[in-house]
Amino acid sequence: MTALSLPLATILLRWVPFFGQVRSIQFLAMLGVLIFTAITSAIIGYHMRREIKKSLGRKATDEDLSDVETWMEVRDAEEKAAARKPPFIK
């Protein structure tokens, strides 16, 4: 489970005693939101890791995904790469 979907999972686990009182449609809706969040956060994490790998040339850790300094390094590396490219000629 990814970091983004973890808070939703803890919220659902706190509601376990109340599941008997919740209608099945509401439960399925909550479960759908949880699954959607888990899938989208996994996809976003994959893309972010790939961007760090491409720019910095190293494997991204979980801390890198939320570290501001890492993203500043990524931005600087992308700017340097863009400066090395020849200008577009019409």
pLDDT tens digit sequence for 34-72: 999 999 999 999 999 999 999 989 898 888 888 899 999
- pLDDT, mean of residues 67-85: 89
Determine contact, residues 58/22, Cβ cutoff 8 Å.
no
Given a cut of 60, whether residue 3 has pLDDT beyond it is: no
Could you say which DSSP state residue 59 is in?
P
Type and span of the H or E element at 47: helix 24-56
Which position has the higher pLDDT, 4 or 34? 34
pLDDT band (50, 70, 90) for residue 2 = low
**Which pLDDT does position 64 carry in this prediction?**
87
